């Protein structure tokens, strides 16, 4: 490959183009200004989205990565610009989202002098990145970027951060780019052991009440078809984690619902009746297991996982199968017998009937006067034919939307799982819309989380992103209030909100908005939002004490799931 003489800043942009980057989210500042100057000449090849805050940029990059499967890219300047990325980077780390974050830094002679807007972002971000590196030598720029993309996107994905000193941005080098395909001592993916697969298959063939749990690892590996083939051959009921949502269509006959604290009754209660648990691309998060010592008490456990650190970390397993689900699932399918577990599956359907009567009917077709979150979610999902990208903020609306929004295709759920970041929804929806331009993006937010990043409405309007925002407003920090109601004798300590006029604020950004507070107006309000050509906010005023059930109380067994207060 021929070389050409360029500045370090130009090398950054050229390197990103070599990696196929088409969208960057960011906010300029002094220490990254040379890179922004270089970007000016590439506006036809790369779309840059100017967010209103660096946290908005990193969450938008997460949303983009979730729907595309590619690394999201964001820029920030040094000091406060870089530190404002940390929450989003931590979010991406725990949820295995590939990001490449590039920050400007003061010139290398000033490092360690407390120069203006200097912060040790490499030290600060070390615990929450898959890899980070500070570039002080211009010659390192192409190689560092190549390595960053390889690490971010390979194996179990995650965020990386490159901190580039200002003098390295303005010096010149002979540019040559080589993609990274291997790093010594870094094993991105282990080969699947056929003997472990055979051990797992033997357990599956012997099981009478097997239950498969699948997480985001299936989506990351693009193994949705392999998962479907496996469960259809074996007849095994399959339940999903919050981040595994959409890997299997909602209406698949073997889909038995969501696991976890606010998951469905059947998969939670039947976990301790199963004689075999097959976990695929999930990490046995505490919100899934509840009290670990009382989890899956009658079951042997098989764990298919790309990251060796996750096997036996929380739950001791009988067979651990390392490797990508894309490779391990087909091998497992070849070794298992065709089967049906009709009586076992019927037990889940019997649980569905109980939950339908005690919870779902009351949530989605209520008879009480006030509007519920569940009926708003159901209405929106029906209007988009269960075929939109769902983006959620964190809190009650997140759990309700995950329960009642339906899916027909994968990479359709964008949410903050492990970190539970309020303020995630609006910026993540921007990134999701840019990554899935031909799809409808529906973003559910609560009145608390909405006020953390509502400034990004300006970004949405400026870039004409047709995001549909549903603000479920109960004038409370709803999830915290629910815990206070159930476990703290209704002592509502600092959770009630005196909210502003959300319609006026939204209109101030140039976005149309509408408020609904009566059931008879809900369907027309949703229809008006969906028919509008462009971004739109629908505020739905919900009951203050509208709770999310079922619920596994913190520290309790999954068998202790409660259906009502």
305 and 281 Cβ atoms separated by less than 8 Å: yes
Indicate if 166 belongs to the active site: yes
Sign of the dihedral defined by the CA atoms of residues 537, 541, 545, 550, in that order:
negative
Take residue 60 and report the two structure tokens written for it: 């938008």
Structure tokens of 471? 């603000």
β-partners of residue 353 are none
- Residue at token pair 């009988």: 318
Residue 175 annotated to the active site: no
Could you say which of 116, 365, 487, 488 is catalytic? 116
How many Å apart are CA 49 and CA 73, to the nearest integer? 11
Q: Scanning the structure block, which residue is given the tokens 């939670």?
A: 268
116 labelled catalytic: yes
- Mapped onto helix, strand or coil, the DSSP state of residue 410 is coil
DSSP class per residue in 3-50: -EEEEHHHHHHHHHHHTT--EEEE---GGGHHHHHHHGGGTTT-EEEE
User: Which tokens go with 188?
Assistant: 């991105």
Contact 336, 234 (CB under 8 A): yes
479 labelled catalytic: yes
Q: By three-state DSSP, how is residue 322 classified?
A: strand
Assess contact for 371 and 377: CB atoms under 8 A: no
Nearest Cα neighbor of 193 from 337, 335, 331 is: 331
Rounded-to-integer distance, Cα 502 and Cα 74, Å: 29
Tokens of 294: 């009382």
Single out the catalytic residue among 117, 451, 462, 485.
117
Largest CA distance in the chain: 72
Cβ partners under 8 Å of residue 537, min gap 6: 457, 469, 470, 471, 502, 503, 506, 511, 512, 513, 514, 529
SS (H, E, C) 464-508: CCCCEEEEEECCECHHHHHHHHHHCCCCCCCCECCCCCHHHHHHH
Strand partners, 276: 210, 300
Q: For residues 21 and 38, what is the distance between their CA atoms, to the nearest angstrom?
A: 15
Question: Under the phi-then-psi rule, with left for phi > 0, alpha for psi from -120 to 50, and beta for the rest, what region is 335?
Answer: alpha
Q: Indicate the angle between helix axes 141-153 and 8-18, nearest 10 degrees.
A: 30
- Quick check: is 282 catalytic? no
Candidate list 19, 54, 226, 375, residue with the active-site label: 54
DSSP state of 513: E
Buried-state track 330-340, b at ≥16 Cβ within 10 A, e below 16: bbbbebbeeee
C-alpha 468/C-alpha 532 separation (Å) is 9
CA atoms of 458 and 51, how far apart (whole Å) = 8
Closest CA to 301 of 282, 278, 284: 278
- The catalytic residue positions are 54, 116-117, 166, 479
């Amino acid at each position: 490959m021929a070389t050409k003489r360029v500045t370090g800043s130009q090398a950054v942009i050229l390197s990103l183009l070599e990696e196929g980057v088409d969208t960057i989210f960011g906010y300029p500042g002094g220490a990254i200004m040379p890179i922004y100057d270089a970007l000016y000449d590439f506006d036809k090849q790369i779309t840059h989205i100017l967010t209103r805050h660096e946290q908005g940029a990193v969450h938008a990059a997460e949303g983009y990565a979730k729907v595309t499967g590619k690394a999201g890219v964001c820029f920030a300047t040094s000091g406060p610009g870089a530190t404002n990325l940390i929450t989003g980077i931590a979010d991406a780390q725990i949820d295995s989202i590939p990001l490449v974050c590039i920050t400007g830094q003061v010139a290398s002679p000033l490092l360690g002098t407390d120069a203006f807007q200097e912060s040790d972002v490499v030290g600060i971000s070390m615990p929450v990145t898959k890899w980070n590196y500070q570039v002080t030598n211009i010659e390192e720029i192409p190689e560092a970027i190549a390595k960053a993309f390889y690490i971010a996107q390979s194996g179990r994905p995650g965020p990386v951060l490159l901190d580039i000193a200002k003098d390295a941005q303005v010096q010149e080098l002979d540019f040559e780019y080589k993609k990274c395909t291997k790093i010594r001592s870094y094993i991105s993916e282990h080969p699947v052991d056929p003997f472990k697969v055979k051990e797992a298959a033997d357990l599956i063939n012997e099981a009478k009440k097997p239950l498969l749990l699948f997480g985001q690892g299936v989506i990351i590996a693009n193994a949705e078809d392999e998962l479907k083939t496996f469960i259809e051959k074996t007849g095994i009921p399959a339940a999903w984690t919050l981040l595994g949502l959409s890997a299997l269509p909602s209406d698949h006959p073997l889909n038995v619902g969501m696991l976890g604290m606010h998951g469905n009754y059947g998969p939670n209660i039947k976990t301790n009746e199963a004689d075999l648990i097959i976990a695929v691309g999930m990490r046995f998060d505490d919100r899934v297991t509840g009290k670990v010592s009382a989890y899956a008490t009658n079951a042997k456990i098989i764990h298919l996982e790309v990251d060796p650190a996750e096997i036996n970390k929380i739950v001791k397993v009988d067979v651990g199968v390392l490797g990508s689900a894309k490779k391990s699932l087909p091998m497992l399918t070849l070794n298992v017998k065709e089967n049906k577990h009709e009586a076992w599956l019927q037990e889940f359907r019997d649980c569905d009937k109980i939950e339908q009567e005690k919870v779902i009917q009351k949530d989605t077709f209520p008879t009480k006067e006030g509007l519920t979150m569940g009926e708003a979610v159901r209405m929106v999902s029906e209007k988009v034919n269960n075929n939109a990208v769902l983006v959620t903020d964190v809190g009650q609306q997140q759990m309700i939307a995950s329960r009642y929004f339906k899916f027909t295709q994968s990479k359709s759920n964008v949410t903050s799982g492990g970190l539970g970041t309020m303020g995630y929804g609006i910026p993540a929806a921007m990134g999701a819309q840019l990554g899935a331009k031909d799809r409808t993006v529906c973003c559910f937010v609560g009145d608390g989380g909405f006020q953390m990043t509502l400034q990004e409405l300006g970004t949405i309007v400026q870039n004409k992103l047709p995001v549909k925002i549903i603000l479920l407003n109960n004038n409370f920090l709803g999830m915290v209030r629910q815990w206070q109601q159930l476990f703290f004798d209704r002592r509502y300590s600092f959770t009630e909100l005196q909210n502003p006029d959300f319609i006026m604020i939204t209109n101030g950004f140039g976005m149309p908005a509408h408020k609904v507070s009566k059931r008879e107006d809900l369907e027309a309000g949703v229809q008006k939002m969906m028919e509008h050509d462009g971004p739109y906010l629908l505020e739905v005023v919900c009951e203050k004490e509208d709770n999310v059930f079922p619920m596994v109380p913190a520290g309790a067994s999954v068998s202790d799931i409660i259906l009502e207060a």
